[in-house]
């Protein structure tokens, strides 16, 4: 979905709120028809923790890119203090939130959490991103992809 961001699996279904330089919220509707449930785990299907983190990284990356006017893409550097609290099962609506803690010329620090029924299922204290510049054509592409997820042109 995000060719330049190189997401392996698009976890986010829809952006429901984004405030440039501040925070963002997105949703993931967890469906039993998703491919990974065949292996994880057939008799006790749960959303893999790495995909939960991937959704948090995706949303954090989008928030940083929006906040930097799409002039940069992000490079994941570190995830600090990820804590898993509950299983995420088919039928759950995962609400992912990201908040910018720091946004400077070389890096960004984002705090994230994901909830189901307003109960935290996973959180991170910090996700640290570096930046890579984009060309004008890449900026246009990323704005279109962002709009496709329900984001707006900022």
Is 123:102 a contact under the CB 8 Å cutoff?
A: no
Mean predicted confidence (pLDDT) in 119-136: 96
Class of domain 14-148: alpha beta
Distance, CA of 71 to CA of 65 (rounded, Å): 7
pLDDT at 3 over 70: no
Share of the chain above pLDDT 90, in %: 71
List of long-range contacts for 109-117, beta carbons under 8 Å, 24+ apart: 110/60, 110/63, 110/64, 112/56, 112/59, 112/60, 113/56, 114/52, 114/55, 114/56, 114/88, 116/86, 116/88, 116/92, 117/92
**Which member of 4, 23, 40, 148 is catalytic?**
40
Phi-psi region of 144 (alpha: psi -120 to 50; beta: other; left: phi over 0): alpha
pLDDT range class, residue 1, cuts 50, 70, 90: very low
pLDDT in tens, 64-112: 999 999 999 999 999 999 999 999 999 999 999 999 999 999 999 999 9
What is the maximal distance between C-alpha atoms in the chain? Answer: 48
Based on the residue annotation, tell me whether 40 is a catalytic residue of this protein.
Answer: yes
Residue 153 pLDDT grade (very low, low, confident, very high; cuts 50, 70, 90): low
C-alpha distances (whole Å) from 119 to each of 49, 50, 132 are 16, 19, 35
| 126-to-60, 61, 108, 135 alpha-carbon distances in Å | 10, 13, 10, 28
Query: For the chain, which residues make up each domain, given as ranges?
Result: 14-148
Confidence of residue 25 (pLDDT cuts 50, 70, 90): very high
Does residue 136 surpass a pLDDT of 70?
yes
């Amino acid at each position: 979905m995000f060719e330049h961001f190189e997401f392996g699996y698009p976890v986010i279904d829809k952006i429901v709120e984004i405030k440039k330089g501040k925070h963002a919220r997105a949703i993931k509707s967890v469906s039993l028809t998703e491919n990974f449930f065949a292996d994880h785990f057939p008799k006790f299907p749960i959303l893999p923790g790495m995909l939960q983190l991937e959704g948090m990284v995706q949303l954090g990356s989008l928030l940083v890119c929006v906040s930097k006017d799409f002039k940069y893409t992000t490079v994941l550097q570190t995830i600090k203090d990820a804590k898993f609290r509950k299983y995420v099962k088919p039928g759950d609506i995962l609400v992912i939130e990201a908040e910018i803690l720091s946004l400077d010329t070389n890096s960004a620090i984002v705090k994230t959490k994901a909830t189901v029924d307003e109960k935290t299922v996973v959180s991170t204290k910090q996700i640290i991103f570096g930046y890579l510049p984009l060309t004008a054509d890449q900026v246009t592409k990323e704005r279109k992809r962002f709009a496709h997820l329900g984001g707006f042109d900022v």
